[in-house]
Amino acid sequence: MQEEQLDQNIIDVSSGTASNAFMTRTYAWMTLALCITALAAFLTVGSQAMLEFIFSSKIVFYGLIIGELLLVGALITAVNRMSATTAFLVFAAYSALNGITLSAVLLIFTASSVVLTFLITAGTFAIMSIYGFTTKADLTRIGNIALMALIGVILASVVNMFMNSETLDYIISYVGVAIFVGLIAYDTQKLKDLSYTVDHESADGKKASIMGALTLYLDFINLFLFLLRLFGRRD
- Reported as a single tens digit per residue, the pLDDT across 128-183 is 999 999 999 999 999 999 999 999 999 999 999 899 898 999 999 999 999 999 99
pLDDT of 9 reads 44
- The amino acid sitting at 1 is M
Radius of gyration of the chain (CA): 20
Mean pLDDT of the chain: 90
Instruction: Inform me whether the pLDDT recorded for 15 exceeds 70.
Output: no
To the nearest 10 degrees (0 to 180), the angle between helices 84-108 and 58-78 is: 150
Beta strands in the chain (DSSP E): none
Distance CA 96, CA 90 (A): 10
SS (H, E, C) 103-117: HHHHHHECHHHHHHH
Average pLDDT (80-87) is 92
CA distance 32 to 197: 25
Would you call 92 exposed, middle or buried from its count of C-beta atoms within 10 A (0-12, 13-18, 19+)?
middle
Residue 1's SS3 state is coil
